[in-house]
Structure 1
Amino acid sequence: MKTIVIPFDFSPYSLAALKTAQKVSVKSGAKIICVTVIPSEVDYDKLSDEAKLKYTELREEKEEAERILPDYIHEVAPAKADIVQEVRIGVPNELILRVAEEFSADLIVMGAYGKGYSQGKFIGSTLQKVLRKSTVPVLAVKEALDGNDFRKIAFASTFHPDSKQAFAKIKSLVKAFKSSVHLLFVNTPDKFTSSDEVKKGMDLFQSGNEEIVFHQHTYNDGEVEKGILGFCQESGIKWLAVVTGKHDKSPTYQISTTETILFKGDLGILSVKV
């Protein structure tokens, strides 16, 4: 893992994401790219120099953010490693993904909410869009994860062959923390799967990853999301990886397992696409 992108909007949740990313950086040696987006329908990056002169207010906001960010971040999240700061103007989710592509990010770490958060609100719309569109693994947090939290991770899956491809994307992160990986299959009445079939899938998943410590678990519940949350709470696990499908063209009202678990619990959720 070489590069981590952190969207930072001065909210407590973005600070939790930054502190989490710093823990990952210390273990992996990855550099941190902190991106602050000044919201606008104007795609400022793509304007000519002449056209940019027309947007005085936006330009002044950008210059102010560039001036105050270094000292502010050093004050709230001091660390030895330098943080590269990018201030952009435009649509937040689009700019976050653009920066991740420009810097060839291996991981995006985001807060569950932005600075417009109100109590009881579902997860932030920017996070939802990034989760749906990003091809890079996205770790979403409500609270900062510390070094001990990273020592155990749950990997919830149906353990079809494509889940092994998804794990390959986060394997370096797991190895950096020497995390024990708790493979989790939630059995529900409507999609019941035999123990033999689950074990066969998990055994195939583990094959070729012998340097990782795995534990296999089947957990019974009426709903997948409830089962995942229940298992993690009982096992003292603070972060979870979930393999997700392609939702980039899905309507916003189609809520995925990743988003539901993040909303209902306090786990850090690592969304990984095949």
Structure 2
Amino acid sequence: MKKILVPTDFSNEAEQALKVAAQLAKKHGSEIYLLHMLELPLDKVDAFSQYSELPEAMFFMKLAHQKFAKAMSQDYLKGVTIHETVDFNQTFTGITNTCKENGIDLIVMGSHGANGFKEMFIGSNTEKVVRTAEVPVLVIKNDHVNFDINHFVFASDFNKDNKGTYLQAIELAEALEAKIHLLFVNTANNFVTTATAKARILDFIKGSTFENYTISIYNDETVEKGILNFSHIVGADLIGISTHGRQGIAHFFNGSISEDLVNHAKRPVITFKI
């Protein structure tokens, strides 16, 4: 977790994400890449990339740098190395390129919460980032004075194609000194006996030396409700789920989890790419 990317439009939601990123950076000696995308008409992007003196480009660039200066003057960023980047590009493309160019380990993004997953501060581009990012994406929707993660729910169907995401979750849990709650949600439409589910989980984690975990098989009407209800019961500080790339965040278990999981979760959610 040495390089953290925080895309921003300088909104309150973006600042909440930056505050969390700052806490993580101070704890783990990380650097923050603060990225603001100027989504101007595509027919002008090439001109801007050639250092055009067009008034529109200069105006928006100057305004962005002013906002950067104000953001980076906040006390919570003192002692943190910040890399300021303003780019003329489509948001999704810019985030993807920045991750590749700088070897980003984690993306931290803000959310408007109940207004919907697609209403996150950079709009529908956020769904694309979560769906396709090669690095974990941490979605923040509240202000966290102290971002302390003690209980981390990792929900999965525990099929072997998810094994890589579990290894990422373990690495995160160790860094945060958190307990992982391995959660299998049972539904009427996709019922698995407790014995079968537990055996699948044990086989899934075989070979791992991580010991700070619990195993839970939870019954509910839907997978989404099961994750949310279980997380409430154990007082989870963070929910982790896996994504299947082009199939999207909705592809989970053998069916789908709607974007309601992210919309309705009152807790931070982190996604891991399978």
Using the size of structure 2 for normalisation, the TM-score is 0.87
Give the conservation status (yes or no) of the 8 Å contact 1:145–1:268.
no
Q: Please give the alpha-carbon distance, in whole angstroms, between the structure 2 residues aligned to 1:199 and 1:84.
A: 45
The alpha-carbon deviation at position 250 of structure 1 amounts to: 9.8
Give the 3 Å change call, closer, same or farther, for CA 57–7 of structure 1 in structure 2. same
Q: Secondary structure at the match of 2:201?
A: helix
Asked if structure 1 preserves the Cα contact closer than 8 Å seen for 2:150 and 2:237, the reply is: no
Residues in 1 aligned to 2:98 and 2:186: alpha-carbon distance in whole angstroms: 39
Q: Which residue pairs with 1:109 in the alignment?
A: 108
Q: How does 1:90-239 map to 2 (within 5 A)?
A: 90-113=89-112, 120-124=115-119, 125-145=124-144, 147=146, 149-239=148-238
Which segment drifts farther, 86-95 or 54-63? Answer: 54-63
Secondary structure of the residue aligned to 2:118 is coil
The residue aligned with 2:21 is 21
Q: Could you say if the C-alpha distance between residues 61 and 248 of structure 1 is closer, same or farther in structure 2, counting changes exceeding 3 Å?
A: farther
AA matched with 1:242: I
Deviations 1:182-214 (A, max 9, x none): 000110000001112211222123333323401
* Kept after mapping to 1: 8 A contact 2:249/2:257: no
Q: Tell me which amino acid in the other structure corresponds to 1:57.
A: E
| CA 1:169–1:44: 2 relative to 1, 3 Å | farther
Aligned AA for 1:123? Answer: K
Work out the number of aligned pairs and report it. Answer: 266
Partner SS state of residue 142, structure 2: coil
Question: Helix, strand or coil for the counterpart of 1:14?
Answer: helix
Matched, 1:6 2:3: no
Give yes or no for contact 2:155–2:184 (8 Å, CA) kept in 1: yes
Residue 266, structure 1, aligned to residue 266, structure 2: yes
Could you tell me whether the CA contact under 8 Å between 2:20 and 2:147 is conserved in 1?
Answer: no
Q: Please list every run of 5 or more consecutive structure 1 residues that lacks an aligned counterpart in the other structure.
A: none
Letter in 1 for 2:235: G
Inter-partner Cα distance in structure 1 for 2:37 and 2:18: 15
Provide the C-alpha distance between the structure 1 equivalents of 2:159 and 2:56, rounded to a whole number of angstroms.
51
Q: Aligned partners of 2:45 and 2:34: how far apart in 1?
A: 17
Q: CA distance change for structure 1 residues 42 and 148 in 2, over 3 Å: closer, same or farther? A: closer
Q: Which region of structure 1 is more displaced relative to structure 2, 62-71 or 27-36?
A: 62-71
Distance 2:248 2:232 in 1: 33
Matches of 2:248 and 2:269 in 1, distance apart? 21
Please give the per-residue CA displacement for 1:93-120, whole angstroms capped at 9, x wherever unaligned: 211121111111111110124xxx9x74
* Mapped contact 2:7–2:34 kept (Cα < 8 A): yes
Could you give the per-residue CA deviations for residues 29-83 of structure 1, whole angstroms, max 9, x where no partner exists?
221111011122338775576x542632123211332244133232274332121
Counterpart CA distance in 1 for 2:155 and 2:248 is 24
2:148 and 2:111 mapped to 1: Cα distance? 18
CA RMSD of aligned residues (A): 2.7
Percent identical residues: 27
Does 2:46 correspond to 1:56? no
Q: CA deviation at 1:221?
A: 0.4
Alpha-carbon distance in 1 for matches of 2:236, 2:259: 18
Preserved contact between residue 186 and residue 228 of structure 1 (Cα < 8 Å): yes
The answer to whether structure 1 residue 85 and structure 2 residue 84 are counterparts is yes
3-state SS, counterpart of residue 210 of structure 2: coil
Structure 2 Cα separation of the partners of residues 146 and 43 of structure 1: 43
Paired with 1:146 and 1:217, the residues of 2 have a C-alpha distance of 30
SS in 1 for 2:246: coil
The amino acid that maps onto 2:230 is F
Q: One-letter code of the match for 2:271?
A: S
Quickly say closer, same or farther: Cα 1:204–1:30, change in 2 above 3 A: farther
Give the TM-score normalised by structure 1. Answer: 0.87
Whether the aligned pair in 2 keeps the contact of 1:16 and 1:144 (CA below 8 Å) is yes
Task: Classify 1:84/1:77 alpha carbon distance in 2 versus 1 (closer, same or farther; 3 Å).
Answer: same
